[in-house]
Amino acid sequence: MMRNYDGDAIIQDLWTKIENEEELTDLDELHLIFLPLMQSSVNRSERAIETVELAKRIKDEEKQVRLLATIIAVSDKFIDKEYVEKLMEVLSMARVIQMAEERARISESQQAIKKYLGARLGLESKPMQNKIDLITDLYLLHHLLDDLYRAEKREEMARLIDITLEKQRASHAPKIVED
């Protein structure tokens, strides 16, 4: 039945909507999921990879993950195992790139804070700068920088860094469930 749909026209329409960050309708999502099964100028395996690439451009991460999982599940039944592996590789690379970008943002924030501390306090900021390397939560780093700009004394800056480290530890601590 999906062979009756013009996959080439539908993918163009979906590209436009996703690139313009338009909200996808339920029908759009269904079209995206079943694109690899529609009539097309390319084979199903190639269309499945194009579909995954398109879905990765969806800004809403929850929707993106849900659609990608569904596309792969649907495509798995109808395309070569080799292409399923390529799809998984594409998704894996996207995750690796996302993690690398996150690490870069963390490093940039850490460097900005250390540079600020060095400019403001000179060599006496070294112990504080060393603690900054332990803070890997981007949200906490951004708030710490804002707080440091407002701090007037070295002691206050040191206290803010210690508080931030404690917040990070607390957020990563295992939760105890009581009966």
Q: For 44-63, what is each residue's pLDDT tens digit?
A: 878 888 888 899 899 887 78
Tens of pLDDT, residues 118-172: 999 999 999 999 999 999 999 999 999 999 999 999 999 999 999 999 999 998 7
Tokens of 81: 């195992």
Alpha-carbon torsion, ordered 49, 54, 25, 21, to 10 deg:
180
The pTM (predicted TM-score) of the whole model is 0.52
Measured distance CA(146)–CA(95) in Å, rounded: 30
Measured distance CA(35)–CA(29) in Å, rounded: 10
Measured distance CA(116)–CA(90) in Å, rounded: 39
Closest CA relative to residue 148, chosen from 171, 114, 105:
114
The residue with tokens 């403001």 is 120
The answer, yes or no, to whether residue 179 has pLDDT greater than 50, is: no
Count how many Cα atoms sit within 13 Å of the Cα of residue 29 in the half-sphere of its side chain.
Answer: 14
- Find the mean pLDDT for residues 81-106: 74
- Find the mean pLDDT for residues 74-102: 71
Q: Which residues pair with 115 in a beta bridge?
A: none
Residue 147, judged by CB atoms within 10 A of its CB (0-12, 13-18, 19+), counts as middle
Closest CA relative to residue 160, chosen from 120, 105, 102:
120
φ and ψ of 58, to 5 deg: -70, 125
The residue with tokens 């009539």 is 39
Query: In 3-state terms, what secondary structure has residue 31?
Result: helix
The answer, yes or no, to whether residue 96 has pLDDT greater than 70, is: no
Contact 36, 74 (CB under 8 A): yes
Tokens of 65: 């993950």
Q: Position 88: which residue type?
A: M
